[in-house]
Chain A
Amino acid sequence: MPGPPHTATALRGRGTGWQRLARWESVLTVFLCCDLIINAGLSPYFLNVWTLSDATFSFTEKAIVALPMALLVIAREIDISVSGTIALASVAMGLAAKAGFGTPALVLVGLCSGLTAGAVNGALVTRLGVPSIVATIGTMSLFRGVAYGILGDAVLKSYPPAYAFFGQGYVAGPLSFELVLFGLLALAFGVLLHRTVIGKRLYAIGANPVAAAHSGVRIERYRFWLFVATGVASPLASILLTSRLGSTRPSIAQGWELEIISMVILGGVSVAGGRGTIIGVVLAATLMGFVTFGLGLKNVPGIVMSIVVGCLLIVVAAIPAISRRIGAPARR
Chain B
Amino acid sequence: MKRLPRRPFLLGRDAGLLLLTLLLAGAVETRFPQFVTPTNAKSVLDDTSILMLLALAQMPVLLTRSIDLSVAANLALTGMCAALFNQAFPDAGIPTVIILAAAAGATLGAVNGLLVWLLEVPSIVATLGTLAIYRGLVFVVSGGAWITNNKMSAAFLDFVRIDIFGFTVLTWVAAGFSVLAYLALRYTEVGRNFFVAGSNPEAAVYAGIDVRRMRFVAFTLSGAIAGLCGYFWVSRFAIAYTDVAQGFELQVIAACVIGGVSIAGGYGTVLGVVAGCLFLGTIKNALPLVGISPFWQMGISGLVIVSAVILNARRAQGVPRRILESPSA
Residues in chain A within 8 A of chain B (CB atoms): 5-6, 73, 76-78, 80, 124, 128-135, 137-146, 148-149, 151-153, 205, 209-210, 213, 219, 223, 250, 255, 258, 261-262, 265, 271-273, 301, 303-307, 309-311, 313-314, 317-318, 320-322
The one of B128, B310, B319 that contacts A210, using a Cβ cutoff of 8 Å: B319
Query: Do the beta carbons of A272 and B136 come within 8 Å of each other?
Result: no
**Bound state CA distance, A157 and B137, in angstroms?**
35
Whether a CB of chain A sits under 8 angstroms from the CB of B163 is: no
A94–chain B nearest beta-carbon distance, Å:
15
Within 8 Å CB of A255, what residues of B? 246-247
A62–B179 Cα distance when bound, in Å, is 45
Q: How far does the alpha carbon of A219 sit from the alpha carbon of B124 in the complex, in Å?
A: 23
Residues of chain B in range 201-259 having any CB-CB distance to chain A below 8 Å: 242, 246-247, 250, 253-254, 257
Q: Which of B35-43, B92-100, B187-195, B298-306 contacts A (4 or more CB under 8 A)?
A: B298-306
When the two chains form their complex, are residues B121 and A133 in contact, meaning their CB atoms are under 8 A apart? no
A76–B320 touching, CB < 8 Å: yes
Q: How far is the CA of A301 from the CA of B138 in the complex (A)?
A: 13
Q: Name 26 A/B residue pairs within 8 A (Cβ), A-sorted.
A: A5-B120, A73-B323, A128-B313, A134-B257, A137-B250, A137-B254, A138-B302, A138-B309, A141-B298, A142-B303, A149-B296, A223-B320, A255-B246, A271-B125, A271-B326, A273-B323, A301-B144, A303-B242, A310-B132, A313-B125, A314-B121, A317-B125, A317-B126, A318-B119, A321-B119, A322-B119
Taking a contact as CB atoms under 8 Å apart, the answer to whether B121 and A317 are in contact is: yes
Closest A residue to B321 using CB positions: A131
Whether A314 and B303, one on each chain, are in contact in the complex, defined by CB atoms closer than 8 angstroms, is no
CA distance A73 to B314 in the complex (A): 22
B301 and A313 form a contact (CB under 8 A): no
Contact B305 A141 (CB under 8 A): yes
Inter-chain contact count A-B, CB under 8 Å?
185
Q: Are B132 and A307 in contact (CB under 8 A)?
A: yes
Q: Decide if B299 touches A134 in the complex (CB within 8 Å).
A: no
CA distance A152 to B297 in the complex (A): 11
Chain A: CB-nearest residue to B318: A213
Give the chain B neighbours of A219 by CB distance below 8 A.
Answer: 320
Q: Which residues of B lie under 8 Å from residue A320 when comparing CB positions?
A: 120
A140 close to B250 (CB less than 8 A): yes
**Per-residue CB proximity of B26-67 to A under 8 Å, as 1/0?**
000000000000000000000000000000000000000001
Closest 9 CB pairs of A and B: A145-B299, A142-B302, A141-B302, A310-B132, A145-B298, A307-B136, A129-B315, A310-B133, A138-B305
> B277: shortest Cβ distance to chain A, in Å?
16
Q: Pick from A6, A73, A135, A320 the residue with the most CB of B within 10 Å.
A: A135
Q: In angstroms, how far is the closest chain B Cβ from the Cβ of A268?
A: 12
Question: Is B23 among interface residues, defined by CB-CB distance under 8 A?
Answer: no
Other A-B contacts than A131-B263, A148-B295, A309-B132, 14 sampled, CB-CB below 8 A, are: A130-B310, A133-B124, A137-B253, A141-B305, A145-B297, A271-B326, A301-B144, A303-B136, A304-B136, A314-B119, A314-B133, A317-B122, A317-B125, A321-B119
A76 with B128, Cβ < 8 A, contacts A128-B313, A142-B299, A317-B121 known: no
B residues less than 8 Å from A304 (CB atoms): 136, 139-140
A80 to B: closest C-beta gap in Å: 8
Cross-chain contact A261 with B128 (CB below 8 angstroms): yes
> In the complex, what distance in Å separates the CA atom of A171 from the CA atom of B316?
48
Measured between beta carbons, the chain A residues less than 8 angstroms from B321 are: 76, 131
- Contact B306 A272, beta carbon cutoff 8 Å: no
Bound state CA distance, A143 and B305, in angstroms?
Answer: 12
Q: Would you call B289 an interface residue if the criterion is a C-beta within 8 Å of the partner chain's C-beta atoms?
A: no
| Cα distance A130–B305 in the bound complex, in angstroms | 12
- B102 at interface, CB cutoff 8 A: no
A314 to B26, CA, bound (A): 48
* Pairwise interchain contact B302-A258, C-beta atoms closer than 8 A: no
- B301: chain A residues at CB < 8 Å are 141, 145
Nearest chain A CB to B296 CB, angstrom units: 4
In the bound complex, residues from chain A placing their C-beta under 8 Å from that of B150 are none
